[in-house]
Amino acid sequence: MPGLWDAIGIRLRSRIGEGATGRQDPGTGPGWVAYMDESGRDDSSEYYVLACVVGRAATMDRLAGEIRGLKRGLVPESDPGAWELHGKEIWHGPDRKRGRTPLWPRTKAKKIAILGATVGTVCDHDVTVFAVVVQKEYLRRTRSKSSRIVEYAATLLLERLERFLQAQGKKDTVRVVSDSVRAGDRREIEKAFAGLARGDNTLSYVKTGRISEIAYVDSLSSNNTQAADIMAYVIGRHMRGDEDLEPVFAQIGAKVSNGGERRGFLVLEAGTAGRPYNRGRRP
């Protein structure tokens, strides 16, 4: 994205290659890997976003190295493995309780530049993006418990990953790596996954067979999970009408899987009646 590097004030691109070794993410192995994270769970945001970036394992390994290099360029004096990129902290400042980032851009231009640099690094690779957005008012209208927002989003995102793998025409599987979410939310994700694997998830008619597992990691140890957090954060700001980040969101939009039933960007808003769709019926 032209001009963003000047806004940051340092030459990041010349430093990206420095992070190509010493990969920090969990071992990926063969097949596909999807890195998943959320945005809008705790704050007053109107929308909850669950997003993931999926690619072949070798591609995701390279991406992890480049995200590490990007971090080294942003804060040369700090070990890139000792802090993490986090969308909300980039925009609003470091969370004192988390204490995990020395990165604190003070101007809007620099904030946009850092988010754009991260998104651009992801989108320069052969990856596909999926995102499910749930308006919180949607759950209030359907009288669902607040924790179900995660089950809704996880169900719809995982079924899209399943369809995506099926469309590849091979028997490849995908390993999902998620940020280590709170215990209650993890139960909701596992409930969604188990129901899809059995074919009795009441929110979907899809039965999964290509998703091998969901692993939970501390995002500090996973550069790609940090990248997924940035993607989710930018999508959330797009949903709230943040025009300043539209050029950044446009990069994500170009990577979204949006073919037919495998559409990769789904929004559930208050105008949607009842559940996303009834099991046994196609959306």
* 257-283 pLDDT, tens digit each: 765 344 688 888 765 544 444 333 333
The gap from C-alpha 92 to its chain's centroid, in whole angstroms, comes to 19
Q: What is the pLDDT of residue 24?
A: 56
Distances (CA, A) of 5 to 54, 112, 195, 209: 26, 10, 45, 43
**Greater model confidence, 252 or 98:** 252
- Placement of tokens 């390993």 in the chain: 175
Does residue 111 carry a pLDDT above 80? yes
More confident residue, 48 or 103: 48
Specify the pLDDT at position 263.
65
Longest dimension (CA), the chain: 55
Instruction: Name which of 120, 192, 111 is nearest 150 in CA terms.
Output: 192
The predicted structure's pLDDT at residue 210: 94
Q: Sketch the domain layout of the chain as residue ranges.
A: 4-20+30-268
In the predicted structure, residue 157 carries a pLDDT above the cut 50: yes
- The tens digit of pLDDT for each residue in 176-213 reads 999 998 888 999 999 999 999 999 998 888 999 999 99
pLDDT, residue 276, reads 47
Domain spanning 4-20+30-268, CATH class: alpha beta
| Dist CA 242 CA 245 (whole Å) | 6
Q: What is the 3-state secondary structure (H, E, C) of 153-221?
A: HHHHHHHHHHHHHHHCCCCCCEEEEEECCCHHHHHHHHHHHHHHHHCCCCCCCCCCCCEEEEEEECHHH
Residue 15 has pLDDT above 90, yes or no: no
